[in-house]
Each structure stands twice: as structure tokens, then as C-alpha cells.
Structure 1
């Protein structure tokens, strides 16, 4: 009887040990390659590759986890599991040493010490009404000697000190019907633009002094065809949107505070287009994408009246955020999933025709499709740029791709 009980317990233990690692809550740090660890579904990733110290990537997940991982092996340096109602809205790195998280519907802003994950400060950001949450961390935006974070949440625009979390100024949009789509701070400028839709057919722009929150200009313009979905920011003072039918692209310029619209039927760009489109927002200067059924169309904006299709594909496509690699130069990655392979290309934003990097790797089908891609650059021994890509798969696993191999 004792032997039979022992065998039953052994069998149960054996099969239970075959379960995969499903989230950050499992203490399996460093036991398996990191691309085999299931961290929960990654919502956002930010690279930190200082010249000294170990290279890291900071991730947030749909399980309300923020964690710092070793870039090469996936070892977990530190992690924090926030409360079930403390959903993470965004993450970034400030001053090269703090991980900034926005959570709880944009009402809690925290700074964590990058090396050890200790919380440095926490700020409560209340506002007059519920709204979309957006935040910007800019190294070139300072009040006196203090770098600031710009947050729009709960109907209020806030400037918060990166050093201690103090709210330096705030601007309410309580009486406004504005549904904010983008908060834009052009590089090297002390201006902030808050843009969005005040109704189904009214576009509004607010120009604000980033140093003190003063409203400098407010303009609105109606478009009889109405608007649909999100907008994509393509230049400092230009966004792209869809009309209410999803069949016409609108280039909306607000240069010098003057709003203008330019219409382009998608059928003029893609002859065999059909059905309404959906904009895939991008942070890459001059580039955005739309999806029509299963077709992804990448479009370059030459100016507000000239749009050019640079790629059309039936393959599942993901586009990374822009990566600044030098003064005035941005790189970005496109990942396409075709059959048993992942194809990665890295390009300069202003030069679609050439590739900085082009690689392909075999991929097991059980991982599903590519969900998101993030890129980072490094300097090779010959002083040229190399790139690594962090890829989030449909099964929530993470892959680090470098030099044509999954690391």
C-alpha cells in the first residue's frame, strides 16, 4: 500500500513538473533560455544599454508586472507585481537611471531605481474626468535643471519632475469635450501640442508652453466627412487620420497653429483596395501603415499633399517604434511572418529603399504570429551600427534576435 501511494505521488509530481513557465510569478530565473520563458503577454519594452554595466530590457505585462531582464540571457534582475486594479498604462526610462511607470488609469506615476528596482518616488495624478492616458519622457525638455515627464490623464495635462515626482504645473481640460489622440513635443522645442477630436467631425489643437503650462493658442476646424479611429503622428505638426468611411486618408497639418486638411482616397494609392481601412499608429517620422482586411500597406508621407505606397503585403507585419541613432536620424524595424520564417528589416526613416539590416530566421509554428517588435542598436568594433530586436510572439514568449540568430 505504501509503495503504491509513493508511485502515485511520484507520477503526479513528474507530470506537474512538465507544465510550462506561464508568467513572472514562477521563480525559474536563469534556469532556461529566456526565449523559452513565458513572462505573460508583454505590453511594452524599453531597452537600456549603458556603456558600462549589464545590458537590460525593462518590460511591462498584462499581468501588471514591471520587470528588468538581462538582455542576453533573460535573467530577471528584479520585478514588481502591481495590484490587480493597478493596470500599467506605460513605461519609459528617465535620466538613464529611473524606470518610470504610469498606471491605474493614469492616476499613479512611479519611479523605480533601474539597478535594483527600489521605488524612488510615487505621485498621485488626479483629474476632473476619465480620459485616455498618454505620457512623454523627453531628455531635452527641462524646467530649470530638472528633466520632466509630460502626462495627459483624467482630463489633465501634467508636468512632473523626474527627480522627485513633484507636479510642476498642470492644465485642466475639464470643460472641454476633447478626446485627446496625441500629445506631441517637437524635438528641441518648448511647445507641446495636444490634439484630438472634439466631436465626430471637429479637430482641435492646443498649443501649450512646456515650461509653465500656459495655453498659447487654441484652434479648431470642422471636417464634414468626420473621423474614424486613431491618428498617427508623422511630423512635428502633422498627423494622419481616416474619414468616417475608412476609405479616405486625411493629412491634418497644424503648423503655426493653423489647421488644414488634405484628402486622399485610398483607391488612388492602392487600385485594388476594398473595405474600410484601419490605421496602425507609428512613431516613425514620415511613415505610417494601414490595414485593409488581411493586407498591410505601408505609406510614406512626403508632404501633406503627397502620399506614396512603399510596401503592400499579405504577410502579418509589425512595425517598431522609432529609434534615434544619431542627430536627426531615426531607424525602425519591420517584421513579417511568412510560413516558417520571420523576416526582419531595419531601415532609416528617411530612406525606404535601403536596409540597414536584413535577416531571416526559422520559427516554430506553435509560437504563433509576431505580436510586437522592439529594436535597440549597438556599435560594432568597426564603428558601424548593429541592431538587436526583441520580438513578442502570439504565445506571449519573447525572442531576442541578433546577427541572424535567436540569442
Structure 2
């Protein structure tokens, strides 16, 4: 299944066990050096590039921590020139494999797999990014590129509104017991929301380098977006340069696996029968307190249905806007029902306990196979529907126009 990214990639994606980073602050928009990189930071990055670009291959483990509350995912990444890559990832007690044999890309999840051509960046697969920010940065360095400098250049050339980025060097200090030097980017992005005002995203990313050979060892990220503060740390361990891999490491073995049909990139992310003015499909499910939820009980009110999950970064990033709309319009007749695609109830309950979301939550532990998601053909999250007072669909996935869509539905007779 897919989920929507604006990126973070995660997405993004992302505890600061080392030292607390101060909340991200936006550089002043009047500064002439809107995009800058200190020479000392440039030197650190170029030194690391020299280490990676000379390697015939690489093997390393990464683990991602979220808000310092435990491991979100872990993975073993193995790379061999030219263009062979294997990523074995464990997340939510499930294992996933991405394999690039130099020609094709195999995506294995449980008992199924997909195959498609493998895109390359030089001889380093572009798809290093699927293994997280750290692996994406390493993939660029293997190709002899300064990841942050290229990122600044790319972002500055896009019509994204106000974009600022400042990269500085951090002197030697102990990080989880290792003496490392850092490169820290403070980035700020303000963009227009198509008549809905502006949104701002502030990000501090700290990359720590050191050891022998001199290489990337840790990445810490803190994102402040629409009032939501999200922190991730990716730690690298068992990093081996130019290793000898066992025979068959980059050979796909499909024994016992079922080939999935290739996804149509133009296919709708929800049932195409869902149209504005149509009657929504029936929903009969229970909330987390065991109370039955049906659409008929909301007739005469405006209902926002939100398909989401706690592990989905874009879903979490969208919650402040949902909460804002709920507080603004609840007294005027807006109701919200969130349908969770989480598998573990503890993940959802701990999230709700922390964030105290005041509206109805639906959970059955079946993830993408939860009945409302199946009935509505949901293939990507977050996905939202607005049901009008007349019981018909008023808006489909309004995203950044959520406030306007709810306001219009409430005003309709």
C-alpha cells in the first residue's frame, strides 16, 4: 500500500539521546544570505564524500527512534557497485525487502512481491531514499555528491514560496559515547495554501560524522509544522566499507512468493464511485468504546471522515489542521470520525493519550483491511471525506482546502 508524502520523507521520516536541540527557529526573511553553508561545514561533508566515493561497496545497519520512545524501525543496507542494493527493513514486527540486482527492483512484503526497473543515480540507486534520510545521504556520497549542497540548490530552484537554509559546523563533542563533529542545517519553508493563508515548516537536521574511516554516524531531525513538533533520530552501526558479500546477496529468490499485479500510477487512490453529490457507502463499525457508528446518526450535521494511522507521518502532520477545524466548527455542527489503520491498539491509545484528540476514533487492528477502508477503496492515507447535512458527499480529500470545504458544507442548505 502507498501513503501520501509531501515529504518529510518520512516519510521521512526523523530523540535526541545525545543532546536536546532547541526548537527550530526561522531565519529572518530579510536576510541576504537566505541559503548559506559555512566553509567548515563544507569541509566536513567533502571529507565524508571522499570516504564513501572510494568504496567498492558498503554494509550498515540503521535504527530509527521516534520521540525517544523506542525503535520505530531498523534495517540492514548492503550495496555493491555497480548498482546493486539490498535493504532488509523490520517495522512493526514485519520484515520488508527492497532488492536491486543491477537491472530490476524487487519489492518484497510478507508473501508477495513486485518487480519494476531500478532507477540509478550514477551507479548508486536513487532508491537509497527508501531506506530513510540517512541512507539517502549516504547514497549521494557514494555517488561523490555533497547531499546538503545539492539539496539547497534543488530547493532554491523550485517555486515553493519562501525557502531559507543555513548550514553550520558543530565542533567535536561526545555523541552516544563517540567523539563526533556535526553539520547542522536550519531550514525554513513558508508557502501559500491556495487561498487558505500560509503554512510554515521549520526543520533542524544535525548530521554527525567521525570514526575511522571518517563517515556519517548519526542523524537527528526536529520538524515544527503547523504547531506539530516531531523528532526523529537515525543511528548507524556496523558500517563496513568495501566488504565481501556472501554469494546470492543480490540475487532475487521468489520461491514461495506471489507476484503482485503492477500498480497503475494513474489509478485512483479511492473508489472512483465516490463523487461529490453521491451517497456515501454505508458504514457500520464500532468506536474504541464499543459504541456503534453509522452514517445515519450524523444526518443533519457535517461529518468529516479521516482515514489515518499513527505510523503515517503525513497523517500526523495533518492532525493540527483537523483539530483546528474541529474546534472552529464543532459548535456549528461539525462532527469528526477518524478511522485508524494501525495494527497495534497500544500504538493508537498511547498517541491519543498524549495528544488528547477530542473526536470519535475507530479501530479494529486490521490495518488496510479494516472494513470501511476496504469498502471505500482507500489505497493511500491520509484520506478524508466530508459528508454534508443532506447525507451526501460534499468534498473528497480536500487536503489544504479543508477549512473552506467544511465551511461550505455547513453553509449549504
Give the TM bin, normalised by the shorter chain.
under 0.3
Structure holding more helix per residue: 2
Structure holding more strand per residue: 1
Q: TM-score if structure 1 supplies the norm length?
A: 0.23
* Structure with larger RCO (C-alpha < 8 A, sep 6+): 2
